[in-house]
Chains A and B, each alone.
Chain A
Amino acid sequence: MDFRYNDEQLAMQATLQRFIERDYGFTERRALAASASGFSTAAWTQYAQLGLLALPLPQQFDGLGGGAFDVMVVMEQVGRGLLLEPYLTTVVLCAGLVADAAPPAMQQALLPQVAAAQCKLALAAYEPASRYELAQVATTATRSTAGWQLSGFKAVVLDAPSADAFIVSAREAEGDGLSLFLVPRTAAGLTVSSYPTQSGARAGDVQLAKVSVGADALIGTVGGGLAPLEKAVDVAIAALCAEALGIMSALNQATLAYLKTRKQFGVAIGAFQALQHRMADMYIAEEQARSMAIIAADRVAGADAAARRRAVAAAKAYIGQAARQVGQEAVQLHGGMGVVDELIVSHYFKRLSMIEQTFGDTDYHLARFAQAAPVP
């Protein structure tokens, strides 16, 4: 049993820390969030050079064949740096889904492009009425002579504005299983809107009006899309947990530093026991959250789907609550400085809050865990 990152992982961690310190400070990050695209294409290219984009991809497609703990290292730093680039959606979620379930020709066409920063992907799965249910899909797929025709509406598609292609879930008729399709951004009948998210990234709605794709656009089998989709989202949730962990760790560090420097009544406010105990609780929340993120990363790659579901649901539900506690307490302990835009604390807090609303919140995953948990 060993709970340490290995040397390569530590090297990656150090590289990212240096990158954030040098090229991705809070000022630069704020400017990027306010820019037209909402992220840095230069940074995206740098990620490719650092091997970040290739990291979890299979080696036969120019990937590095990394696992969930390699992604965890990266995502902790994505959290710390509040990085805005579509790493989670393109590399972890969509490329992961392609690597897992797409036909070899599509893998060959897409994955080396992703690794080389030539292609960005987004997942168009959730719909206005679906909330967090991946299976609740009204978008239709109709067979045509050339392949398929897709019609429907996908809501709050993360990183949609910058995506070169979308993975769309649809079904032939009510009661049928889900099917997954790769839809290029340029497809006729596809409309993509763009808006900023509360945490500074970009998202959009995707409307499909009789969008034609070829038979080779199918990912996985007809009607068999839910299982690989759910698995890919679980992998992304494990990564999201690591991102939340990185933010919690950064917030605790910032709050602790503030308690040691901010003086009132002639002493550093960290001398007050009421604040010490709250800070101790935040420390405990972070350590427990780390254990949960480790469990999620450990089980997400396994062959046992029930164990994966159970671990990921547990981690997301637990970290949702830990993140709320740490986020709110960090703001509180910073006093007025916690509620201003000019300090990174409020930006960490907002990102944590949005992670809770992404891919299922605490209530959703508590229910999912209860369903997956063996009784007794």
Chain B
Amino acid sequence: MDLRFTPEEEAFRTEVRAFLAAELPADIRENVLLGRRLRKDDVVRWQKILFRHGWGAGMWPTRFGGAGWSVVQQHIFDEEGAAAGAPGQLPFALRMVAPVLMTFATPAQQAYFLPRILSGQDWWCQGYSEPGAGSDLASLRTSAVRDGDHYVVNGQKTWNTLGQYADWIFCLVRTSSEGRAQQGISFLLIDMKTPGVSVRPIVMLDGEHEINDIFFADVRVPVANLVGEENKGWTYAKFLLEHERTNNAGIGNCKRELARLKQIAAGQRAGGRPLIEDQRFRDRITQVELELMALEITNLRVLSKAHREAQPAGPEVSLLKIRGSEIIQRLAELQMQALGHDALPYVREGLDAGWTPDPLLSQHFPAYAPPLSGRYFNYRKTSIYAGSNEIQKNIIAKMILGL
């Protein structure tokens, strides 16, 4: 047992810190730390900065332009980045489609797509879920019918995150209805500008446009955009999920939000004293802090095992997803609770940079208040997306417990 970081890892942490201090733009940092609406430009600009520094994709192998970091290095980078207010790199391109491309795509596909991901040139989104295929993903019905050098795609994808900005979408489509449902699925890359692709916003409970329905009406996709073999898409999809779920405990974010919760609770007053000194509220904070302490170590245990065995992390990542989502939800809930009646005002403009509250509101409604209730609502998604927590428990029961 040795819980220490190596001197090299500590040096890396220092290097990351210095990089963040020098390179993270102040306006992006402020947006992140105040929990404001994140703009497309925030994400893209940050990716370009990382790319210029050679850190566009920390965990990618160097032969694809990645930094070749170990899981521990990535953990350090995530933790420092979150603390400093760097936006998280979106997973769809870097952690989802890219590993699939590296493993199953043709050299031509790799040469075209990977550098554009790395540099922040292309924005990718995911086309998995459908109205009738959620947890039971294999029942998807979006069809791709071969017509010469093209597939003709028809159907609907839903719960698509940030597709309104996307240049490309990776889709699971049905190319065959024979055999088991899993056997007729293919993995297709579709240019969002192709005629017949339309994006319809789904407004979420916090009033924000984060997710979409995507419709495909006779969309002609070159056969060259098929990844791997036709009807083998389910294999690639499962491979993708393994990579997606690695490192998804979100420890860095949780730590930042815990610190923010304490700051908020120290600033709010209850019974004439700081709320943080209220025994009941203090216990609530402590409980989630303990869960996070444990999860940080559990996360490192899982990652270091994966690193040692040079394998993607196993089904234990379901544990990380369950607990990580529960913790971030709880933190958001307590942040809202800490506001007292200041949780009530719905100040949409408060999510934008440069907002100034009206003179009366500003007397009691702090600058950090506007996003908190909305984020509590919004974060209910975390136990639903990326495989609901119930699906994760099914995975644990089957893959780990053998039930």
Q: Does A233 contact B (CB under 8 A)?
A: no
Shortest Cβ gap from B403 to chain A (Å): 4
A1 x B290 contact (CB < 8 A): no
Shortest Cβ gap from A318 to chain B (Å): 5
Contact of B282 among A283, A289, A317, A370 (CB under 8 A): A370
Shortest Cβ gap from B155 to chain A (Å): 30
B298 x A288 contact (CB < 8 A): yes
Q: Does A295 contact B (CB under 8 A)?
A: yes
For B208, list chain A residues within 8 Å (CB). none
B319 x A370 contact (CB < 8 A): no
For A280, list chain B residues within 8 Å (CB). 393, 396-397, 401
Complex Cα gap A288–B2 (Å): 18
Contact of A5 among B1, B266, B282 (CB under 8 A): B1
As a 0/1 sequence over residues 223 to 250 of chain A, the CB contacts with chain B under 8 angstroms (1 = contact) are 0000000000000000000000000000
Contact (A276, B393) CB under 8 Å given A1-B304, A2-B2, A4-B1: yes
Complex Cα gap A342–B41 (Å): 67
Contacting B at CB under 8 A, from A265-295, are: 270-271, 273, 276-277, 279-281, 283-284, 287-292, 294-295
Majority secondary structure, B binding face: helix
Contact (A298, B3) CB under 8 Å given A3-B300, A3-B301, A276-B403: yes
B290 x A318 contact (CB < 8 A): yes
Complex Cα gap A376–B323 (Å): 23
As a 0/1 sequence over residues 339 to 371 of chain B, the CB contacts with chain A under 8 angstroms (1 = contact) are 000000000000000000000000000000000
Contact (A298, B1) CB under 8 Å given A1-B300, A284-B319: yes
For B294, list chain A residues within 8 Å (CB). 288-289, 291-292, 295, 318
For A260, list chain B residues within 8 Å (CB). 402-403
A291 x B290 contact (CB < 8 A): no
For A284, list chain B residues within 8 Å (CB). 319, 322-323, 396
A277 x B266 contact (CB < 8 A): no
A287 x B316 contact (CB < 8 A): yes
For B397, list chain A residues within 8 Å (CB). 273, 276-277, 279-280
Contact of A376 among B9, B262, B403 (CB under 8 A): B262
Shortest Cβ gap from B20 to chain A (Å): 20
Shortest Cβ gap from A88 to chain B (Å): 20
Complex Cα gap A284–B394 (Å): 13
Majority secondary structure, A binding face: helix
Q: Does A117 contact B (CB under 8 A)?
A: no
Complex Cα gap A373–B2 (Å): 23
Q: Range of interface residues on chain A?
A: 35 or more
Nearest to A282 among chain B residues (CB) is B401
Complex Cα gap A186–B386 (Å): 67
Contact (A69, B298) CB under 8 Å given A1-B72, A376-B259, A376-B262: no
For A256, list chain B residues within 8 Å (CB). 401-403
B403 x A294 contact (CB < 8 A): no
For B283, list chain A residues within 8 Å (CB). 366, 370
Contact (A295, B5) CB under 8 Å given A370-B286, A375-B262: no
Contacting A at CB under 8 A, from B309-333, are: 316, 319, 322-323
Q: Does B295 contact A (CB under 8 A)?
A: yes
Q: Does B291 contact A (CB under 8 A)?
A: yes
B1 x A271 contact (CB < 8 A): no
For A349, list chain B residues within 8 Å (CB). none
Q: Does A183 contact B (CB under 8 A)?
A: no
Complex Cα gap A288–B9 (Å): 25
For B296, list chain A residues within 8 Å (CB). 291
Shortest Cβ gap from B387 to chain A (Å): 13
Contact (A291, B298) CB under 8 Å given A271-B403, A279-B403, A373-B286: yes
Complex Cα gap A281–B304 (Å): 23
Shortest Cβ gap from A253 to chain B (Å): 10
Contacting B at CB under 8 A, from A302-354, are: 314, 317-318
For B401, list chain A residues within 8 Å (CB). 256, 276, 279-280, 283
Complex Cα gap A256–B398 (Å): 12
Contacting A at CB under 8 A, from B1-36, are: 1-6, 9
B286 x A276 contact (CB < 8 A): no
Shortest Cβ gap from A283 to chain B (Å): 6
Nearest to B274 among chain A residues (CB) is A375
B297 x A273 contact (CB < 8 A): no
B304 x A3 contact (CB < 8 A): yes
For B286, list chain A residues within 8 Å (CB). 317, 366, 369-370, 373
Nearest to A369 among chain B residues (CB) is B286
Complex Cα gap A354–B6 (Å): 39
Nearest to A297 among chain B residues (CB) is B1
For B305, list chain A residues within 8 Å (CB). 3
Q: Does B147 contact A (CB under 8 A)?
A: no
Contact of A1 among B2, B293, B400 (CB under 8 A): B2
A281 x B403 contact (CB < 8 A): no
For A369, list chain B residues within 8 Å (CB). 286, 289-290
Shortest Cβ gap from B317 to chain A (Å): 12
Contact of B293 among A271, A314, A366, A375 (CB under 8 A): A314
Complex Cα gap A270–B400 (Å): 13
Q: Does A259 contact B (CB under 8 A)?
A: yes
Shortest Cβ gap from B368 to chain A (Å): 13
Shortest Cβ gap from B215 to chain A (Å): 34
A287 x B290 contact (CB < 8 A): no
Shortest Cβ gap from B315 to chain A (Å): 11
For A283, list chain B residues within 8 Å (CB). 319, 396, 400-401
Shortest Cβ gap from A305 to chain B (Å): 18
Shortest Cβ gap from A317 to chain B (Å): 6
For A276, list chain B residues within 8 Å (CB). 393-394, 397, 401, 403
Complex Cα gap A3–B400 (Å): 19
Complex Cα gap A292–B292 (Å): 10
Q: Does B390 contact A (CB under 8 A)?
A: yes
Contacting A at CB under 8 A, from B39-92, are: 72
Complex Cα gap A2–B1 (Å): 5
Complex Cα gap A294–B4 (Å): 12
B403 x A375 contact (CB < 8 A): no
Complex Cα gap A271–B322 (Å): 21
B1 x A69 contact (CB < 8 A): yes
Since A1-B6, A256-B401, A318-B290 are in contact, a sample of 9 more A-B pairs with Cβ atoms closer than 8 Å, ordered by chain A residue number, is A5-B1, A283-B400, A284-B323, A288-B295, A288-B298, A295-B293, A366-B286, A370-B283, A376-B276
- 10 shortest interchain CB distances as A-B pairs: A376-B262, A291-B297, A276-B397, A280-B393, A288-B294, A280-B396, A270-B403, A291-B294, A291-B298, A277-B393
14 contacts between A and B (CB under 8 A): A3-B300, A276-B403, A280-B393, A284-B319, A290-B298, A291-B293, A291-B296, A294-B1, A295-B3, A297-B1, A317-B290, A366-B286, A370-B282, A370-B286
